[in-house]
């Protein structure tokens, strides 16, 4: 089943690549995957995948990236690959509140799905890397993830392993010492750019005008999503596509609520450590409390304290638990949190730095349930479980 999927993806990517190479003048290299006849349905509701000009898609590169993505040798104890936390079978997440690295060590943040990550204008919950290439390098050398001290062991393997030697030679035209982490990251990123998936019940309802694609409850939920629930202001829907994220950072009262008294101490200590050369990636993933400073840790801006990136909602049904710290188990809990205006319980103190978009919504229980139902309309048919897929909707 997985191989079928991969073949499928490779074919798609190959087609995309051919399109791109047919038009070498196109700068930046953005191709329209919707023109792909092989997988047209899967892309319904998505914009063209942005492909960086310096890292065009090729079938060989994608296959190499796939291999690298699943290689457990790239860790301190040989047990951790990218796919540990971004598991193909779990919609490229791990189903855990926070990710588990080598020797059972845990980080501080919930593994986001790789599906459609290619569209994110920045990577990681705090956006500390601008692109997939930059992102791919970090977990490998994080002390609680892959746990390597530096990238050398990975390069050693790629330089000596027969498969990799051949592959890097054919994809990048390099071998031996000429293979760098940039090549490794580019291949992984290319593979990840094939992990895109639209075509949910919502897409068929909204972009194809299939009135019966969503259930009545889902239609009610959609009305709330763009109305009283105020969801759409951050989880955006455009006229001809929907990524369900504004790519921006908001303090929505998750995580930060538990460390409010510590913020002055943490903020100052964090900046002092950063100024002395501390590594942000290590600091936010190894210290739970510093992690909650959110985007502030990246920009040093007071207005970003406790702010995290808006995640896409596509396939959200499959990516529990929720929020940057995995602290909410169900979609219903998420709705309750928002309905309360940024707190889990109405008598909890609101954090001082709460985003101005978050306020009590006065939604009723049935309305919250409708919103949860609507979330389930955002699952791509490709990943929909039989029980939740609607009759007559398979592509």
Q: Which residue, 284 or 318, is less far from other proteins as judged by CB?
A: 284
Whole-angstrom distance, CA of residue 266 vs CA of residue 228: 36
Min separation Cβ 291 and other proteins, Å: 15
DSSP string across 239-274: SS---S--S-EE--SSSGGGGGGGHHHHHHHHHHHH
Longest distance between any two alpha carbons in the chain, whole Å: 63
Min separation Cβ 156 and other proteins, Å: 21
Residue 146 touches other proteins, criterion: CB under 8 A: no
Given candidates 54, 170, 303, 364, which one binds other proteins under the rule CB under 8 A? 303
DSSP state of 35: G
Q: Which stretch binds other proteins (CB under 8 A): 108-116, 157-165, 299-307, 378-386?
A: 299-307
Residue of 144, 91, 89 whose CA lies nearest to 320: 91
Q: Give Cβ neighbours of residue 206 (< 8 Å, ≥ 6 apart).
A: 45, 222, 237, 242
Residue 264 touches other proteins, criterion: CB under 8 A: yes
Q: Which residue, 308 or 383, is less far from other proteins as judged by CB?
A: 308
Min separation Cβ 268 and other proteins, Å: 6
Given candidates 240, 302, 347, 392, which one binds other proteins under the rule CB under 8 A? 302
Residue 354 touches other proteins, criterion: CB under 8 A: yes
Residue 355 touches other proteins, criterion: CB under 8 A: yes
Whole-angstrom distance, CA of residue 114 vs CA of residue 274: 28
Min separation Cβ 130 and other proteins, Å: 5
Min separation Cβ 264 and other proteins, Å: 6
Pick out residues in 195-234 that bind other proteins (CB under 8 A): 230, 233
Burial class from Cβ neighbours inside 10 Å (0-12, 13-18, 19+) for residue 346 reads: exposed
Min separation Cβ 344 and other proteins, Å: 18
DSSP string across 139-157: GGG-TTTT--SSSHHHHHH
Q: Which residue, 205 or 270, is less far from other proteins as judged by CB?
A: 270
Given candidates 78, 227, 357, 395, which one binds other proteins under the rule CB under 8 A? 357
Contact 354, 253 (CB under 8 A): yes
Whole-angstrom distance, CA of residue 383 vs CA of residue 385: 6
Residue 268 touches other proteins, criterion: CB under 8 A: yes
Residue 96 touches other proteins, criterion: CB under 8 A: no
Q: Which residue, 90 or 307, is less far from other proteins as judged by CB?
A: 307
Q: Which stretch binds other proteins (CB under 8 A): 12-20, 56-64, 275-283, 331-339?
A: 275-283
Q: Which stretch binds other proteins (CB under 8 A): 10-18, 214-222, 259-267, 387-395?
A: 259-267
Q: How many residues does the chain have?
A: 395
DSSP string across 306-349: TBEEPPP-TTGGGS-SBSTT--B-SHHHHHHHHHTTS-SSTTSP
Q: Which stretch binds other proteins (CB under 8 A): 8-16, 23-31, 78-86, 264-272?
A: 264-272
Question: Cα dihedral angle (130, 197, 245, 91), rounded to 10 degrees?
Answer: -80
Residue 280 touches other proteins, criterion: CB under 8 A: yes
Residue of 192, 174, 241, 243 whose CA lies nearest to 57: 192
Residue 151 touches other proteins, criterion: CB under 8 A: no
Contact 41, 381 (CB under 8 A): yes
Q: Which residue, 91 or 154, is less far from other proteins as judged by CB?
A: 154
Pick out residues in 358-387 that bind other proteins (CB under 8 A): 359
Residue 263 touches other proteins, criterion: CB under 8 A: yes
Residue 356 touches other proteins, criterion: CB under 8 A: yes
Residue 281 touches other proteins, criterion: CB under 8 A: yes
Whole-angstrom distance, CA of residue 184 vs CA of residue 182: 5
Give me the residues that bind other proteins (CB under 8 A), please.
128-130, 134, 137, 230, 233, 248, 263-264, 267-268, 271-272, 274-275, 277, 279-281, 298-303, 305, 350, 352-357, 359
């Amino acid at each position: 089943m997985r191989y079928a999927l991969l073949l499928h993806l490779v074919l798609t990517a190959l087609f995309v690549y051919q399109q791109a190479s047919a038009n070498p003048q196109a700068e930046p290299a953005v191709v329209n995957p919707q023109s792909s006849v092989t997988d047209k349905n899967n892309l319904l509701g998505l914009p063209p995948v942005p492909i960086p000009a310096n890292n065009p898609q090729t079938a060989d590169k994608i296959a190499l990236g796939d291999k690298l993505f699943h290689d457990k040798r790239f860790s301190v104890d040989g047990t951790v690959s990218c796919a540990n936390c971004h598991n193909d079978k779990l919609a490229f997440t791990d189903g855990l509140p926070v990710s588990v690295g080598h020797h059972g060590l845990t980080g501080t943040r919930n593994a986001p799905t790789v599906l459609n990550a290619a569209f994110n204008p920045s990577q990681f919950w705090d956006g500390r890397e601008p692109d997939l290439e930059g992102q791919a390098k970090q977990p490998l050398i994080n002390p609680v993830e892959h746990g390597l001290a530096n990238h050398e062991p990975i390069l050693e393997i790629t330089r000596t392993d027969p498969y990799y030697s051949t592959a890097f030679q054919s994809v990048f035209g390099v071998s031996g010492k000429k293979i760098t982490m940039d090549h490794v990251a580019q291949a992984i990123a290319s593979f990840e750019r094939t992990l895109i998936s639209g075509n949910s019940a919502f897409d068929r309802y909204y972009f194809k005008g299939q009135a019966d694609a969503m259930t009545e409850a889902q239609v009610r939920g959609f009305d709330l999503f763009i109305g009283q629930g105020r969801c759409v202001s951050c989880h955006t829907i455009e006229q001809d596509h929907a990524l369900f994220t504004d790519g921006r950072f908001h303090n929505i009262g998750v995580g930060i609520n538990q460390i409010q008294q510590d913020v002055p101490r943490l903020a100052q200590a964090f900046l002092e450590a950063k100024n002395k050369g501390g590594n942000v990636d290590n600091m936010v993933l190894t210290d739970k409390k510093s992690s909650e400073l959110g985007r502030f840790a990246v920009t040093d801006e007071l207005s970003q304290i406790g702010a995290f990136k808006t995640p896409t909602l596509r396939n959200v049904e499959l990516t529990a638990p929720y929020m940057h710290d995995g602290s909410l188990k169900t979609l219903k809990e998420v709705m309750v949190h928002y309905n309360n205006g940024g707190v889990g319980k109405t008598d909890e103190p609101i954090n001082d730095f709460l985003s101005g978009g978050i306020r009590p919504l006065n939604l009723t229980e049935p309305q919250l349930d409708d919103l949860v139902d609507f979330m389930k309309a955002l699952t791509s048919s490709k990943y929909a479980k039989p029980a939740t897929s609607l009759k007559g909707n398979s592509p």
